[in-house]
Amino acid sequence: MSRDHRTRDNWALLHAISQARTKGVPVAVVFNLVDKFLDAKARHFGFMLRGLQVVEQNLKAVGIPFFIFRGKAEDTVPSFIERCNASLLVMDYSSLRIGRQWRKAVCQKVDSVVEVMEVDAHNVVPIWCASDKLEYGARTIRTKIQRQLSEFLTEYPILESSGKAWDSEPPPCIQWDSLIADVLREGAEVPEVSWCEPGEDAALEALMGKATGFVNIRIKNYENRNDPSKPTGLSGLSPYLHYGHISAQRCALEARKVRKMHPKAVDTFLEELIVRGGLAENFCHYQPNYDNLNGAWSWARESLMIHATDKREVLYTYEELENAKTHDTLWNAAQLEMVYYGKMHGYMRMYWAKKILEWTTGPEEALATAIYLNDKYELDGRDPNGYVGCMWSICGIHDQGWKERPVFGKIRYMNLAGCKRKFNVDGYIMNVNQMVAKTKKRLRDGTASSSTAKPVLTTNRR
C-alpha cells in the first residue's frame, strides 16, 4: 500500500484478498515509510500517518495484519517477502516518477521469487485502459473514458478477510504517537492544518455526511466552484483523493445518485473528477518531463523561450514570493491561503502561477518555483493534478496558443482586471485575511495544538 491508503473501495486490496482466497493463503498489508518524499513536510506526513492509523484499525477488524517499515522499499519489501514466503505481491499504481522508481527497484529484487501485480486503485478507468498514448486535451480523452464507464464505474464488493489467519511473523505494535511526533518535528516548518480530519472514515463523512457531506448537502453549490469568493462551492475532497483516503469511484457513484436533483452540478463534478483527473494522470504517465519545460508542447516551449529575456516590469525573489511580499494583494492572499490553510482555491492557482511567470527571470525559474511552493504547502501537493495545474498555467499544457504578448508569448494571459470581472476579489481577500487572523488568534490565546502552529517561511529550496 503506497498511494491509496484505505480499506474500503480499494481494488488493489480486494484483488490481493481474492488471490489469497484462491491460493488458500493469508494476506498482509505493508506500507514503507521513507524519511523524505519530494517536498513533503509535517503537514503532509502527519496527515498521511494519521490516515494510516485508521487503516490499521479497519484492517484489524477483518483480521488482516498491517506492517510499517522504515527505509528503502527496495530493501524492506523484498526482505519481508522472503521472511514470510509470499506467493504474490500486489502494488499500488502511481503515475509519478518516484513511484515508478520504487516499484521498479522492488521488482528487480523479487521478480525471480514472487509473482508481482500492479493495480490502479486510484482512477475510475485504469490509466492504461483510458488511453494508450499522451492525450492533447480533455476533448481527446473524454470520449475514450466515457465509453468505458459502464464497465468500470460499478459498485465495489464488500471487504472480507482472506479466509485464512495470518500465521507468519506478527506485526509489531506501531507506536503511532512517537512516529507522528517524529515526522512533525522533522518537518515543523510546514505544520499540520486543522480543518481537514485525516483518514478514510473522515473522508467518507466529508463525502456523504448528513450534516455537511458534499453529496448530500453541498454539491448543489458546485456550479460556483470557479468563484474563489464562494468557498462552499468546492467539494473539499482533494486531500482525501490525493492520499487515497477515498476513491474517485466512490465519489462518482454517490454523486450519480443525486443527479436528478442537481444535474448540472453533478455533471460538472464528474467531468472534473473523472475526465480532468484522468487527463492529469495521463500526462504524468506518458510524459516523463511532466514537471519541467521539456514537457511542454513545442509551440509553447518555443514561444516561452523567445520571450524568456523580455523585460519584466517587476522581479521578485523566491523569498519575497514565499512570504507573500508582492505589490498584488490578490496574489498575496492566494499565497497566504496556501501557507496557512494548506489549500489554495483552484481558480486562484492559475492566476498565482501565471504571475510567477510574469515576476521571475524566465519560464524555467517560474515553473520550478510554482511546483516547489505548491508541493511544500499544499496538503494535496506532489500530485498529478498539481503538476498539470502548474504546467497548464505556465507552459500551456492542454491549452491552445493565444495572442502573443511580452513575457507570456502565446501562453494564456490572466490579470487582476480579468479576475475582478469574474468574481468578488475583495471578498476573497477578506475571507483569506479572516482565516489567517483566526489562526494567529488561536496561537496568541495558546489554544492551538501542534497541528495549527504558525508556518515558518524558510528559504530552503531543494
pLDDT digits (tens, 9 = 90+) for 78-101: 999 999 999 999 999 999 999 999
Per-residue confidence (pLDDT) for residue 228, from 0 to 100 = 95
Per-residue confidence (pLDDT) for residue 442, from 0 to 100 = 67
In a shared domain, residues 29 and 108:
yes
Q: Are 40 and 277 in contact (CB under 8 A)?
A: no
Beta-bridge mates of residue 68 = 31
Per-residue confidence (pLDDT) for residue 443, from 0 to 100 = 56
Report how far residue 214's alpha carbon sits from residue 207's, in angstroms, rounded to the nearest whole number.
Answer: 5
Residues contacting residue 445 through CB under 8 Å, at least 6 positions apart: none
Residues contacting residue 306 through CB under 8 Å, at least 6 positions apart: 409
Q: Of 83-97, 98-112, 128-142, 427-441, where does mean pLDDT reach its minimum?
A: 427-441
Q: Which of 286, 320, 351 is the last residue of a domain?
A: 286
C-alpha cell at 433: 485575511
Region 394-398 average pLDDT: 97
**Cα 384 to Cα 27, 342, 400, distances in angstroms:** 30, 17, 20
Residues contacting residue 417 through CB under 8 Å, at least 6 positions apart: none
In a shared domain, residues 47 and 61:
yes
Residue 183 lies in a domain: no
**How would residue 422 be classed by pLDDT, with cut points 50, 70 and 90?**
very high
Report how far residue 196's alpha carbon sits from residue 255's, in angstroms, rounded to the nearest whole number.
Answer: 21
Q: Would you say residue 193 has pLDDT above 80?
A: yes
In percent, the amount of the chain with pLDDT more than 70 equals 96
Residue (of 99, 103, 152) closest to 123 by Cα position:
152
Supply the range of the domain harboring residue 403.
288-452
In a shared domain, residues 11 and 86:
yes
**Spacing of C-alpha 94 from chain mean position:** 11
CATH of the domain at 365: 1.10.579.10
**How would residue 450 be classed by pLDDT, with cut points 50, 70 and 90?**
very low
User: Chain-wide mean pLDDT for the chain?
Assistant: 94
Per-residue confidence (pLDDT) for residue 458, from 0 to 100 = 47
Q: What is the DSSP letter of 62?
A: T
Q: Would you say residue 457 has pLDDT above 90?
A: no
Residue 356 lies in a domain: yes
Burial of 384-401, coded b for 16+ CB within 10 Å and e otherwise, reads bbbbbbbbbbbbbbbbee
Per-residue confidence (pLDDT) for residue 427, from 0 to 100 = 97
Q: Would you say residue 451 has pLDDT above 80?
A: no
Q: How far apart are the first and last CA of the chain?
A: 27
Q: Which helix (H) or strand (E) holds 116?
A: strand 115-119
Residue (of 90, 126, 66) closest to 16 by Cα position:
90
Residue 273 lies in a domain: yes
pTM of the model: 0.94
Per-residue confidence (pLDDT) for residue 456, from 0 to 100 = 52
Q: Would you say residue 445 has pLDDT above 90?
A: no
Region 1-14 average pLDDT: 98
